Amino acid sequence: MTRLMIIVASIREGRIGLPIAQWVRGVAESDGRFDIDFADLKEIDLPLMDEPNHPRLRQYTKDHTKAWSERVDAADAFVFVQPEYNYSYAPGLKNALDYLHQEWRRKPVGTVSYGGISGGTRGVVALRPVQQALGLVPTGANVELAWAAQQLDDDGEFQPRESNERVLRTQFDEIVALDAALRPLRG
């Protein structure tokens, strides 16, 4: 079973990323191939990177970093539920990524992005160099939600389109296949 960490990247008040991520978690749970760790960066509340040593050394001095390292290290794969901010990605996600280095290496990552007309695509593209530097392996299938706020019902729950769920399930297939291929390399 693949240990999948779903990361809610937005930490803003009134964010729509949380109901979107809850939808992703529901689909992953119904899939049956995942042991899920739901990581809400707002709840985790990492301060701006405050470790004295480079993350590559894994010589962490802060309890919050040690706890984050253990969680990420335990994961086999990730789904980033991320908004697009100013043609880029959320600063909370960048901070969470920068805290660690080896823990991300040779693990698959899918994205569920949201924003205006681009559906968060530009934020995903902007994040690619960071993912590459950390050794994350992106899926080809990514869910891109244009005007995602329009898909929230009166209770604030995300109502996916059929195409959204189809792409998410394709992404999950890729994550499982990539995890199987990359697992021996993580050794």
**Which residues does 154 contact at the CB level (< 8 Å), separation at least 6?**
none
Domain ranges of the chain: 2-186
CATH number, span 2-186: 3.40.50.360
pLDDT at 187: 76
Looking up tokens 């390399």 gives 185
From CA 22, how far away is CA 46, in angstroms rounded? 21
pLDDT at 79: 98
pLDDT per position as a tens digit, 30-52 = 999 999 999 999 999 999 999 99
112 pLDDT band, cuts 50/70/90, is: very high
Is a pLDDT exceeding 90 seen at residue 127? Answer: yes
- Model pTM? 0.97
pLDDT at 43: 97
Residue 158 near residue 152 (C-beta atoms within 8 A): yes
Asked whether the CA dihedral 173, 149, 16, 85 is positive or negative, the reply is: positive
From CA 19, how far away is CA 17, in angstroms rounded? 6
Structure tokens at 39: 């990581």
pLDDT at 11: 96
From CA 183, how far away is CA 49, in angstroms rounded? 29
The average confidence (pLDDT) of the chain is: 97
Residue range 169-174: average pLDDT? 98
Burial class (CB in 10 A: 0-12, 13-18, 19+), 41: buried
pLDDT per position as a tens digit, 65-111 = 999 999 999 999 999 999 999 999 999 999 999 999 999 999 999 99
